[in-house]
Structure 1
């Protein structure tokens, strides 16, 4: 057997042996199903075989759910981090779709069941929901097109950084407390101290100035509050 180029039929004997060890009678290629397993007075088990994860494999699994709730998909077990990530992602997908997932280690026929078929009951994350809604509320306007790449997105944090940059551009080196008031950014001191974008420079105790990269970013990205009157704040004496 050439394990470098597995065939769907290579998966059949190990999966059949596993199901038979559990008391099922197993037959291949029954109707549209790759494997059907029957045990007295129970729902039949259907297993769809593929040599790799694919959209068509999930489509087939969903179609078989018209026959029985006990549907598995099975693929050869790979190695390495990429396959482990694929297993984690596709296990989660199978759980959402109500499908079971098996992998077959072809060198010795070991079959591992990663998830059994069953109804999906999503667990909501209050923390994630809270972060989502806070970002939505803090974001000024709608500066990003849906579907854009994550890199360079205009987040609420970036908008706050631009507000601080605008104040420093207007006033020059300024105390952080004054920047916070003028920019309307409560956490301006921490934002400029963290200097995530490399736009700010501390030039004295609690005093920050705008770096050339910050001035360039302000010119390129613009004022997030454009259209509203800019803050007019006298420099502290």
Structure 2
């Protein structure tokens, strides 16, 4: 016989949320002026809880609307089941961060009537972002070093032309024009200040070491130069720029 599917409705979350809030001294009532749950304790601002089986944009928008009534708004969703469920959307870090940024609380609920069925994941509080100085420095540095705008915003599965890749392409083009090149000659062009580091690391598999401090191109480099040329993503390099050993 086929197994009967277990069904759960938003209303099944209410008893546990009610018991949880009553356990903290709140007077709890459901469906008050469009709010799923309203809890009052003395002269404190009310707590509003919106119930949904899953986390969604509609629930977030509902919570944001309730912030016009009180700063103490929780989004309550059904607790994910099993290991796979616990890796689900509601427990993801970016979901928690979103709630914090918006000043919303977040709780998960297992159907039942026990306060223990409720787990508070995030409490509502004013958001005070902590600036990631190192990340900002890298962002600004990449923007400043990148020449022109070689990429198309929104594309996927396409190599991004970073400032580092542009410098590596300059190295490759100069070597292609000369057949091979020494680190000294590349450095003396003034076009690629980081040439020694780029050639020695060889991130893209473009450079073949002929002898100490002298390099030629690999076949992969020639293919990639052609591919970037076809997409008009090659860095500007004067036609007369070349290397002299």
Q: Would you call these one fold, judging by a TM-score over 0.5?
A: yes
2:30 aligned with 1:41, yes or no?
no
Measured against aligned partners, the alpha-carbon deviations of 1:104-158 in whole angstroms (never above 9, x if no partner) come to 2348853221211121111112111110110011000011223333741111111
What is aligned with 1:233?
Answer: 243
2:61 to 59, 62, 71: 59
What is aligned with 2:105?
Answer: 100
* Count of residue correspondences: 233
> Where does structure 1 lack aligned partners over 5 or more consecutive residues?
none
2:201 aligned with 1:194, yes or no?
yes
Q: Name the SS of the counterpart of 2:29 in structure 1.
A: strand
Query: Higher relative contact order by CA 8 Å / sep ≥ 6: 1 or 2?
Result: 2
What is aligned with 1:168?
Answer: 175
Measured against aligned partners, the alpha-carbon deviations of 1:57-103 in whole angstroms (never above 9, x if no partner) come to 00000011111111010112214363278531111001111101111
What is aligned with 1:83?
Answer: 88
Cα distance between partner residues in 2 of 1:200 and 1:72: 57
Quote the offset at 1:3 in angstroms: 8.5
**Correspondences of 1:1-237 after superposition (within 5 Å):** 5-78=7-80, 79-80=83-84, 82-83=87-88, 86-106=91-111, 110-149=117-156, 151-182=158-189, 184-222=191-229, 223-226=234-237, 228-234=238-244, 236=245
Quote the offset at 1:177 in angstroms: 2.9
Quote the offset at 1:23 in angstroms: 0.5
> Where does structure 2 lack aligned partners over 5 or more consecutive residues?
none
CA RMSD of aligned residues (A): 2.2
Q: Name the SS of the counterpart of 2:87 in structure 1.
A: helix
